[in-house]
Amino acid sequence: MLLAVEAKNLKKTFKTKQGNVEAVRDVSFKVNKGEIFGILGPNGAGKSTTILMLTTLLRITSGTAKINDLDVVKNDSEVRNKIGIALQDTGIDNLLTARELFYTTARLWGLSKSKSKDRTKEMLNLVGLTEAADRRVKTYSGGMKRRLDLGLSLVHKPEVLFLDEPTTGLDPGSRRVLWDEIKKLRDEGVTIILTTQYLEEADELANRISIIDEGLVVAEGTPDELKSSIGGDVITLTFRSDDDAIKAQTIIENSDIEDKQIRVTVENGAEKIPNLLNLLVSKDINVQSVSANKPSLDDVFLKVTGYRLEGEKTLIEESK
């Protein structure tokens, strides 16, 4: 497989008045050409900082990074020609129209006036903004702005596209539209590196995922590989009271508790459920519901970090 991106022991330290802050402590990964690579992690994990370093927008404290074999520090100008960037803050001039923005961007990339006009039409069509092309961007919805942002990062036909939390703040419908466009780009051969804090998004889009927590890579693989790494099925037991859940956790080995729920990973989950229920009934513990499922990325995240990604960062206690 040809490599599009290679990050080796990336580290970023910010100097602040309160002392040094290590935003990225040690991040390494390889991205193959033509794949979608997801960087999954909570806020503050170091995802955006990693993207900024890879896109030449932030100085690397130590480590190396290459895009299509070009060093991002030594060949920063060539690297910028190869990549497209859509950062978290869209960076769009709200007083201009989409047509004006595409045209200006094409001209800045060195296209002639007539080619810039042609490219503008193509891009408006690609991101579905032809009808709204002459409206000022401040009248656009969040989803339209994101699509415009994506389009602006594609004007020069980049080989590698960096998307930093592309769907954050979007409604489910707009998110789905953007996902389809990202997949279409992958099918056209564009390598895509996207950061996300949505498990569903990583599962849906990414060919491979790197989970980052507190500036470190804690797991990497395809979604299926990561899920298989847990092994077996996840049985989820829901109780009527917190007390019952706490009592149950003391009885069921290697279980995690969260509110009124206990989760335990076992081989052949469906077969184990009757015995588990008998055991709990014998101890006078009332179970409200029970289910057995294949592990999700949520379970993977919980296993490798000790907390759930979605919602507050609270450590989940595990019974020994």
Measured from the CB atom, is 7 or 53 closer to another protein?
53
Cβ(25)–Cβ(214) below 8 Å: yes
In the complex with another protein, the residue whose CB is nearer, 56 or 210, is 56
Displacement of CA 22 from its chain's centroid (Å): 21
Angle between helices 142-152 and 172-187 (to 10 degrees): 20
Closer residue to another protein, CB minimum distance, 94 or 250: 94
- Residue 25 vs 136, nearer CB to another protein: 136
Contacts of 187 (CB under 8 A, 6+ apart): none
DSSP state of 97: B
Beta-strand (E) ranges in the chain?
A: 3-16, 19-32, 36-40, 62-67, 70-71, 83-86, 160-164, 191-196, 208-213, 216-221, 233-239, 256-258, 261-266, 287-293, 317-318
Distance CA 12, CA 22 (A): 6
Cβ closest to another protein, residue 126 vs residue 230: 126
Q: Which residues bind another protein (CB under 8 A)?
A: 14, 55-59, 77, 80-81, 83, 85, 87, 89-96, 100, 104-105, 107-111, 136, 152, 156-157
Task: Measure CA of the first residue to CA of the last residue in the chain; give whole Å.
Answer: 42
Q: Minimal distance in Å, beta carbon 215 to another protein?
A: 16
User: Nearest approach, Cβ of 88 to another protein (angstroms)?
Assistant: 9
Residue closer to another protein (CB basis): 53 or 202: 53
Shortest reach from residue 39's CB to another protein, in Å = 18
Least separation, in Å, of the C-beta of 99 and another protein? 12
Q: Quick one: 55 or 305, whose CB is closer to another protein?
A: 55
Task: Write out the two tokens for 189.
Answer: 């051969």
Answer yes or no: are the C-beta atoms of 276 and 251 closer than 8 Å.
no
Nearer to another protein, 86 or 202 (CB): 86
**Minimum distance from CB of 30 to another protein (Å)?**
23
Contact 263, 309 (CB under 8 A): no
**Half-sphere exposure at residue 200, Cβ-oriented, CA atoms within 13 angstroms:** 7
Instruction: Give min distance, CB of 56 to another protein, in A.
Output: 7
State the nearest-atom distance from the C-beta of 110 to another protein, in Å.
4
Give backbone dihedrals phi and psi of 230, rounded to 5 degrees, phi first.
-75, -35
- Residue 31: CB minimum distance to another protein, A: 18
